[in-house]
Chain A
Amino acid sequence: MFENFLYAISVVFLWENIVLIIVGTAIGMVFGALPGLTVTLAVTLVLPFTFDLSPESGIILLTGVYCSGTYAGSISAILINTPGTPSSAATAWDGYPLTQKGRSLEALSVGLHASVIGGLISAVALIFFAPMLAKTALAFGPPERFALTFFGLTIIARVSGVSLSKGLISALFGLLIASVGVDPIMGVPRFSFNTFYLYGGVGMIEVFIGIFAIAEIFNQIGKRAVMAQHSKSDSQTKTIRWKEIVPHYWTVVKSSVIGIIIGVVPGTGGSIASFIAYDEAKRSSKEPELFGKGSLEGIAAAESANNGVTAATLIPTLTLGIPGNTVAAIFLGALLIHGLTPGPQLFVNQGGLMYTIMVSFIMANIVMYFQGRLALKWFDKIVNIPSSILLPIILTMCLVGAYTISNSLNGVIVALIFGCVGYAMIKFEYPSAPMVIAIILGGMVEESMRQSLILSDGSPMIFLTRPLSLAFFVLTIFVTFSPMVIKQWKKRRNGGGQA
């Protein structure tokens, strides 16, 4: 462990990797601060540019984008009452009232400090808990792996949308897309429709660009989104100070831990974490009446929780191969593209790389802090870039990114098709996260299922006779049906009460 840790430090502190972290955090900050642009979009667009880098450098760049993008959502939430990322929605409740009172810099300062502390605590959790979980996961055989991925997909489908059936359909389409190409076990082509390009399967990154970026561009064009003008803030006149966060120290620590716990559960994410932490901070606050009217404690809770998720969400991703959210799914995709299969074996075979990821999270948060301090004066201007200028820039980046992956227009065609699919999913309220995660996990799901059935001579009982596998299936049933049972029970109780 110690050698890997030293190796990680030596890699992260190479000058080219420090430059990549600085560039990554700058990109993430701009994307996160702009309403309508998400961290997922930023990570997706940067991903094709990591192909020419080493796996370590590529992941370091993505880490910078991820950490600062998650934080920067709070900037537009505070300044113009429009969360840059969904996880910053709770920040806007207290951030914008403070801006209206002329205290925007105080709010931004608390947001930055809480984000950095949340991110650092999350990185420490990743360093300590991921190797422990990986050791446990080493005992997993094909039936356990199948049951676990099945459980992960179900929980993601359950929590990522309003309807379970829509979430499951989305995940199933992801599995179907993953099955396109040559069958990994028997080498038989599937759903190639006599097209040479489809023999290699549908490109993962092209799908991401389509579903996340092009679909969002269509959505913004359809809505004719115009960036709102915000009031003049006081960022030119003051500086950011640590003392503003000190009274909220306990809230920050507690909210960061909430973020870590929620981040570890696949399918959850910063949004849920920030709302739960905000609610908990309000419940335990000495001044709950200030919440929603301009409470610094509320900002501290929401921001430390959503940044607490960042590294924690990589714990199941790296150890079990189950991405915690869409950004973690793209991280997983990045590892696969670099020829690395996530899972417990990765800690055995690529310990240095694993610790590099962990250390890069700490470094990214430190760089993010200094960049945040320096860039705060410019955020007023950045958040006002009109969508008529912004969208063509992002569209061009999407087209270039999709082209550079395979050096052919096939990638751009796939991205455009999935852009239309993604747009239809937005309009019909199908969550995209289960589909994307299923595309990534599809190969693992099928391989482990078929290996298990071969081991048991075709009997599906193998999934129910092994304790761990059975436990995951019981959990799957519980997660799927418990909300319905609780809903029915509450309905009956209320009905009974009224009668």
Chain B
Amino acid sequence: MTSSGVFLRGNVSSITTLLIGLFFFLSIPSQIGISESTDLSGVNSRTMPYLIASAIILLSLYTIVSNIFANRKVETVKSNDEPNEITSYGRVFLAFVAIALWIVIVPYLGFNITTIMLVTTIMIIIGKCRWWQIAIVALALSFPINYLLAAVLKVYLPSGSVFG
């Protein structure tokens, strides 16, 4: 891997926090208005967000710089380490998509059907379960929860415009 690649890989989180800090810092004038009549002693609605965003930028820069120095020190002794734990980001992404789709579809198909679909998908993504387990868990988490919330707590989950 090239040195710039190593730099990006080691600092991806700090670069992200730096960019988010910069984004919030630059968006303060457009996102937070100030009223001159209520501007007391130079302290206004923008003071705290400016302080916080500046601190995030400074700390992110500090982390990046200290990582560079730390990498230089360990570069000579570092071997081809294998990660201890393999993470399947594909499965995490599929789970995210399944939840996002639940949010999109639930107003149309209602809680029961979308929850059956979601639970089935998640159980298939995780794996190591039988079809009857999927059927029981999916059914148990949809209709009974919907009924219990409505009957006991008077909380009504979406019934769906298609069926409603």
Query: Which A residues fall within an 8 A CB radius of B?
Result: 49, 52, 163, 165-166, 168-169, 172-173, 175-176, 179, 183, 185-186, 188-193, 214, 217-218, 221-224, 226, 386-389, 391-393, 395-396, 399-400, 403-404, 407, 409, 412-413, 416, 419-420, 423-424, 427-428, 430, 445-446, 449-450, 453-454, 456-458
Contacts and interface: CB of A to CB of B under 8 A. Distances in A.
B88 A222 contact: yes
A44 to B, nearest CB: 17
Given A173-B56, A222-B91, A409-B103, A388 B41 contact: no
Given A186-B38, A188-B35, A391-B122, A449 B48 contact: yes
> At the interface, is chain A mostly helix, strand, loop or mixed?
helix
B26 to A, nearest CB: 12
A395 B48 contact: no
> At the interface, is chain B mostly helix, strand, loop or mixed?
helix
A165 B157 contact: no
B8 interface: no
Nearest to A183: B45
B43 A453 contact: yes
A224 B31 contact: no
A416 B63 contact: no
Contact of B141 (A214, A223, A393, A446): A393
Contact of B103 (A217, A396, A413): A413
Interface string B127-148: 1110001000110010001000
B62 interface: yes
A179 B129 CA distance: 44
B62 A176 contact: no
B129 A188 contact: no
Contact of B157 (A192, A403, A449, A453): A403
Given A186-B35, A186-B45, A224-B127, 10 more contacts: A172-B55, A176-B53, A188-B32, A221-B91, A221-B122, A389-B133, A389-B137, A391-B122, A428-B12, A450-B47
- Nearest 6 pairs of A and B residues by beta carbon: A458-B41, A428-B13, A388-B129, A183-B45, A388-B126, A188-B45
B24 A221 contact: no
B130 to A, nearest CB: 10
A214 B119 CA distance: 14
Interface in B1-39: 12-13, 17, 20, 24, 27, 31-35, 38
B163 interface: no
Contacts of A400: 145, 149, 157
Contacts of B48: 175, 179, 445-446, 449-450
Contacts of A218: 92, 95-96
B119 A388 contact: no
A386 B137 CA distance: 12
Contacts of A456: 41
A176 B17 CA distance: 12
B42 A458 contact: yes
A172 B34 contact: no
A395 B155 contact: no
Contact of B87 (A173, A175, A223, A404): A223
B68 interface: no
A179 B13 CA distance: 23
B103 A190 contact: no
Contact of A416 (B12, B62, B99, B119): B99
Given A221-B126, A223-B85, A176 B52 contact: yes
A388 B133 contact: yes
Contacts of A409: 103, 106-107, 158
A191 B32 contact: yes
A70 B40 CA distance: 47
A82 B49 CA distance: 42
